Amino acid sequence: MSLKHSYALIAPFYDAALSAVTRAQRVKSLTTLPPAPARVLLNGVGTGLDLPHLPRQHCYTGLDLTHAMLRRTRPRTAGLDFCCVQGDAHSLPFADGSFDHAILHLILAVVPNPAACLAETARVVAPGGSILIFDKFLRPQQRAPLRRLINPLLRRVATRLDVVFEEVLEQTPSLVLESNQPALAAGWFRLIRLKRS
């Protein structure tokens, strides 16, 4: 089953599964957006769970792979300067430096190639801009045998359990790590802030 197909099926249940448990960490991540009005990309916007928590002064573009997910963002866009785009997080339909900042919430551990997703996000963020990440990652050399055992099945329908953020970051030298904090599940989920050099 393709990621596009599986997330079209998951869309009706996505909010019930993730909204309450991730709300506080989403808010914490989004409060680190700089205050000056800016162009902000939400790469992998999903059903728009971040939208109610976004500062109103920015101009937002939300990209997702599936129409089923994007359709659910629309009721959450009230009061925002917001545009929906259907597209692939691995191959963004935007010019270099199109955005001042980007948000990657629960997307790097979903896409088949997280390094390509992060590199593409870095490409479309202007130098000096920030990338905010909230997701689940293994630590370097972490064994996590149960997660690795069920990963081949789960990655086909919903998410990956084997992504090591440090290995992903190594492949995009234009990004500098500014902050890396544990979030949910004893640090399995992390809040990360990167700067585009």
pTM for the whole thing?
A: 0.87
DSSP string, 156-174: HHT--S--BHHHHHHT-TT
Closest CA to 61 of 86, 36, 91, 79: 86
The C-alpha atoms of residue 168 and residue 165 are separated, in whole angstroms, by 5
Would you kindly state where each structural domain of the chain is located, as residue ranges? 3-196
CATH of range 3-196; options 3.90.1150.10, 2.70.70.10, 3.40.228.10, 3.40.50.150: 3.40.50.150
User: Going residue by residue through the chain (197 aa), what tens digit of pLDDT does each one get?
Assistant: 455 555 555 556 667 667 778 899 999 999 999 999 999 999 999 999 999 999 999 999 999 998 988 999 999 999 999 999 999 999 999 999 999 999 999 999 989 899 999 999 999 999 999 999 999 998 887 676 655 555 454 455 556 778 899 999 999 999 999 999 999 777 789 999 999 99
The C-alpha atoms of residue 176 and residue 152 are separated, in whole angstroms, by 31
The C-alpha atoms of residue 72 and residue 49 are separated, in whole angstroms, by 9
